[in-house]
Chain A
Amino acid sequence: MRLLIKNGRVIDPSSGIDETLDILIDRGKIVEIKPKIDNQEAKIIDASRLVVSPGFIDMHTHLREPGEEEKETIYTGSQAAARGGFTSIACMPNTNPVNDNRGVTEFIISEAKKRAVVNIFPIAAVTKEQKGEELIDMADLVEANAIAFSDDGFPVKTSLIMRRALEYSKLLNTLIIDHCEDRSLSEDGVMNEGYYSYLLGLRGIPDSAEEIIVARDLILAEKTGSRIHLAHLSVKGAVELLREAKKRRVKVTAEVTPHHLILDDSSLQTYDTNLKVNPPLRSKDDVKALLEAVKDGTIDVIATDHAPHTEDEKAVEFDQAPFGINGLETAVSLLLDRLVNKNVIPLSKFIEMIATKPAEILGLENKGKIRVGADADLTILNLHKEIVIDITKFKSKSRNNPFHGWKLKGAPTMTIVGGKIVYSSL
């Protein structure tokens, strides 16, 4: 089927394009990009006054399948992604069983092929069962199409294992992603350690818990010369270390979530468990530092860390609730409203952080760009559309999202994956 997207403002940071163009799609690929294309057989999509961007890629999602399908499945997660404007998602291995072997990776890929509406890229574990003791068969998993490796949910447990993983990853030119948390410091903490944790009587996770592992990872990446990606950074100290490391040309990239850019720990005064997340919402100073880091490029990518949980699991005392915020269907509107429409970063930078760079970092050569021959993965945005977030309308199985009722300006209006429209509100 041919699709012709007409009159949209096409923005592709990888090539520097920012102009009104038509795009013709055929058999899943972009075949023509020109100011005026005439094609009678194509289905026409009128993108006037809309922005056409390379399809968004979420580098950090939890799909819960296999094992916790009551929270989310590959199918429902992909529906949520499409509704949120994402054309590809990379899913973390902390499933049940853990994705530390070929069998699980292949299961995810085949399920995705059968039922998912967006591209699904499994991230495999670094260690067996994510226990932090033995490395997994990395080459085998790369061959099975695991896109990267992470023990997310947990840090890579010891410096030694991280070093070995980094050295080994060079052989395969694959990527290690670390969730930076020193568990002896974070212990049984449930929110950021600071004035608010003292006020609310909740045990705190100090910022040093993140900084220490970030420092460890940066040193090891530098010494081994390997690539590393730091997941969901949340504190000022981590950003500062990262900035210095980049100056020294360490091969590090980093991501931040929308909720860490928008909320801070003062919002926890209602004890709303939908705000309980790891790493926790931090102080206003940390949020400020993260925004600066986004602006100056120290942080490369925005990823949702979509972490679905059932309502029952979250309807308990704060201490008992699992960590995690559902994010696929709110990320883009939040970022368009709070970052782009408020002029914190220009639109092209936003697209770079949510499409161009993720594709680059994950080595997806035919994605994250609008170019003849590239995969026809596109996200169409309406920067002026005013929405009110309604969690009852989510495609995700889960509802643990703290932004219900928020009025935002800016939303994805169409998601195209491989030339097929998988979501449209046009």
Chain B
Amino acid sequence: MSFKHKHLLGIKDLTPQDILTILETAESLHEISKREIKKVPTLRGKTIINLFFEPSTRTRSSFELAAKRLSADIVNFNRSASSVVKGESLKDTVLNLEAMNPDAIVIRHSASGAPHFISSFCRSHVINAGDGSHEHPTQALLDAFTIKQEKKTLQGLKVVIVGDILHSRVARSNIMLLTKVGTQVVLCGPPSLLPQAFKKFGVDIEYNLDRALEEADVVMMLRIQLERQKKNFFPSIREYRNLYGLTKERFRKAKKNAIIMHPGPINRGVEISTELADSAKSVILKQVENGIAVRMAVLYLLLGGKESEALD
């Protein structure tokens, strides 16, 4: 059983077996972070470049720790999107970095499809750390890992994803992963941010949050971006919170042992009330912890083993 992919561009390219392999590997690597010496020599000598065009401390440092715990060398290149405007194209940036012989490039970019684009001329393994509104595969993987940790299985659960689905790469990756492994997914949000066409992804759509939450096992809240209000996707933050904010009362509609998730950073008091965010039902911090194990698994599976042309 092996992981025959050269890149991780999205959940879309993974089979259900691939997903299970990653989660099982993450399970085995998890305890390394609990050891006194949080390091194994597995990827010693490998070089990984974090190429982040969007600000991010969480994902970036998660990848950094994952690489370091596997003994790989990792370098951070932070570019603001404006440096592209200043003249160095994305293609040139990547070609210049490749001249330093990295083994893998972890890329986060505001343009959907940017990882696909660079994988077309890159020698290195390309790992998508979030591209525009398209995908954020390691987030969905760590979300699935966390759900499995809490619920022991992914199948037969009802997962509700709430928020700005239209612009969310976390939503898309989660939708793809969960539908591949037999989980029931319900999307909830204002109609302007949740077109009916999303039903074609094999999910249900519910505009009313109370109804959506009924019998939910997992409630995944997405961050609402304040800029969307300026573009008239919804009238005001106040109204958004009233209709789609998760409060203790609303959460009672879900199953008794339902858990609350959020990819972070949270807008306290907007999409989730402060008391819920800090409650025992919230696994938000566990998500962060699991992120490292999942990213270690991804690095291990992509970079371990012979560099072979048989990989895609």
Contacts and interface: CB of A to CB of B under 8 A. Distances in A.
A198 B166 contact: yes
Contacts of A201: 112-113, 131-135, 169, 172
B46 interface: no
Contact of B116 (A198, A271, A319): A271
Contacts of A194: 197
A195 B195 CA distance: 9
B3 interface: no
A177 to B, nearest CB: 32
Q: Which of A202, A271, A319 has the most CB of B within 10 A?
A: A271
Interface of A: 194-195, 198-202, 270-271, 312, 315-320
B198 interface: yes
Contacts of A199: 172, 201
B89 interface: yes
Q: Which of B89, B111, B114 has the most CB of A within 10 A?
A: B111
A200 B134 contact: yes
A316 B134 CA distance: 17
A315 B114 CA distance: 11
A315 B89 contact: yes
Nearest to A318: B113
Nearest to B197: A195
Contact of A198 (B89, B117, B195): B195
- For the complex of A and B, list the 9 residue pairs with the smallest distance between their C-beta atoms, beginning with the closest: A201-B134, A271-B113, A201-B133, A317-B111, A201-B112, A319-B111, A318-B113, A271-B116, A317-B114
Nearest to A204: B195
Contacts of A315: 89, 91
A317 B113 contact: yes
B200 interface: yes
A134 to B, nearest CB: 31
Given A198-B195, A198-B198, A271-B113, 8 more contacts: A194-B197, A198-B197, A200-B112, A201-B134, A271-B112, A317-B117, A319-B113, A320-B111
B112 A316 contact: no
Q: How large is the interface on B (under 10, 10 to 19, 20 to 34, 35 or more residues)?
A: 20 to 34
A315 B93 CA distance: 13
B14 interface: no
Given A315-B89, A316-B90, A317-B90, A200 B166 contact: no
Given A316-B89, A317-B90, A270 B172 contact: no
A271 B117 contact: yes
Nearest to B84: A320
Interface string B80-94: 000010000111000
B223 interface: no
Interface string B83-125: 0100001110000000000000000010111101100000000
Nearest to B200: A195
A312 B95 CA distance: 14
B9 to A, nearest CB: 10
A271 B117 CA distance: 7
A202 B117 CA distance: 14
B136 to A, nearest CB: 10
A319 B117 CA distance: 11
Given A198-B195, A201-B134, A201-B172, A318 B112 contact: yes
Contacts of A200: 112-113, 134
Contacts of A271: 112-113, 116-117
A194 B198 CA distance: 9
Given A194-B197, A195-B197, A271-B117, A202 B91 contact: no
21 contacts: A195-B200, A198-B197, A198-B201, A200-B134, A201-B113, A201-B131, A202-B113, A202-B132, A202-B134, A271-B112, A315-B89, A316-B89, A316-B90, A316-B91, A316-B117, A317-B113, A318-B111, A318-B112, A319-B111, A319-B132, A320-B84
B140 to A, nearest CB: 14
Contacts of A312: 89
A270 B198 CA distance: 20
Contacts of A317: 90, 109, 111, 113-114, 117
A15 to B, nearest CB: 49
B170 to A, nearest CB: 11
B33 to A, nearest CB: 31
